[in-house]
Amino acid sequence: MTTEKLISDDGIRNDGRKLDELRKIKFEIGVLKNTDGSAYVEWGRTKILVGVMGPRESHPKHLAMPDKARIDAFYRMASFSVEEWKSPAPSRRETELSKVIREALGPAVFTEYFPRTSIDIFIEVLQADGSTRCAAISAASLALVDAGIPMRDLVASIAVGKVEGQLVLDVQDKEDKEGESDMPMAYMPSKNAVTLLQMDGQITHDEFLRSIELLKKGCLDVYKMQKEAIEAHFKVNESNTEEA
C-alpha cells in the first residue's frame, strides 16, 4: 500500500506551494453589525469569523480587575467545519485554544486603560483546514482594531511544521495530521515580541532556530496583509462618509 507524498522531489507541497509559501489569505474588517468590532478571514480553505464586544461592564462583577480590563476569548468550531461532524458541545480542545488565543492577544492590548471592564472575543470556525488558532489570532487582532481598542501592535500568527523531514511554513490540515512537528507562533512585529510559541513533536536545535526565522518571515507577511486590510477598510469608510 502506497501513501501520498506530501512534498515532491522538487520541493513542491501537495497543494502546489513551495516550502516557505503561505496559502492565499484574505482579511475583511467590519463584517458584523451587532458587535463593537469584527473581522473575517479566509486562510486557504479555513474560514473564521470573529466578533468583539467591549470594553464593557464586567460580568460577573466579582471577576472584574480593579486596575485593567479582563480579556476573554471563546473559540468554537461549527459542527460542519470539519469532515466528520463534531458535537456542538464545547470540547476540551476548544477550551484550550480559547485560553491560548486570549493569552496571545493580551500583551497587545492596553488593558490598563479600561479598569473593571471586560473585552470579549468570539471566534467561530466555519470551515477548518489547519492553522485555525493562527488564523483566529490574526483575525481577532483586526476585530480589536475595528472595536477601537488601543493596541501596542497588531498580533500576527503563523505555524511551521516538519513534514517528511523538511520544514514548511503555514501548515495545512493534512500536513498537521501527518507531519512530524507543528510550531505555531504569535508575534508583534514592531515590538519584536513573541506572545505565543508552542510546539508538538520533535525537532533538532538547528531546526528550531531555522523554524523561528521562518515563523518571523511568515508573521511579517501576515502583518503586511493585516495592515492592508485596515487601510482598505478605513478608506471605504472615509469614502462613504464623504458621499453622505
CA atoms of 235 and 13, how far apart (whole Å): 37
Tell me whether residue 6 is in a domain.
no
pLDDT tens figures, 49-83? 999 999 999 888 888 999 999 999 999 999 999 88
CB-based contact 78:132 (threshold 8 Å):
no
Tell me whether residue 9 is in a domain.
no
Q: Which domain holds residue 167?
A: 25-237
Mention every residue, 6+ apart, whose C-beta is less than 8 A from residue 162: 168, 179, 180, 181, 201, 203, 207
The predicted structure's pLDDT at residue 63: 86
Nearest C-alpha neighbor of 154 from the set 113, 109, 185 = 109
CB-based contact 94:76 (threshold 8 Å):
yes
pLDDT at 4 over 60: yes
pLDDT at 145 over 70: yes
Tell me whether residue 19 is in a domain.
no
pLDDT band at 86 (very low <50, low <70, confident <90, very high): confident
pLDDT at 41 over 80: yes
pLDDT at 122 over 90: yes
Number of domains in the chain: 1
In single-letter form, the type of residue at position 210 comes to: R
Strands 70-77 and 156-163: unpaired
pLDDT tens figures, 146-201? 999 999 999 999 999 999 999 999 999 999 999 999 999 999 999 999 999 999 99
pLDDT band at 239 (very low <50, low <70, confident <90, very high): low
Tell me whether residue 151 is in a domain.
yes
> Tell me, what CATH number does 168's domain have?
3.30.230.70
Tell me whether residue 10 is in a domain.
no
pLDDT at 18 over 60: yes
Tell me whether residue 15 is in a domain.
no
* pTM score: 0.94
Expressed in angstroms, the distance from the first to the final Cα of the chain is: 65
Tell me whether residue 231 is in a domain.
yes
Tell me whether residue 4 is in a domain.
no
Peptide bond into 55 cis (omega under 30): yes
The predicted structure's pLDDT at residue 2: 41
Peptide bond into 90 cis (omega under 30): no
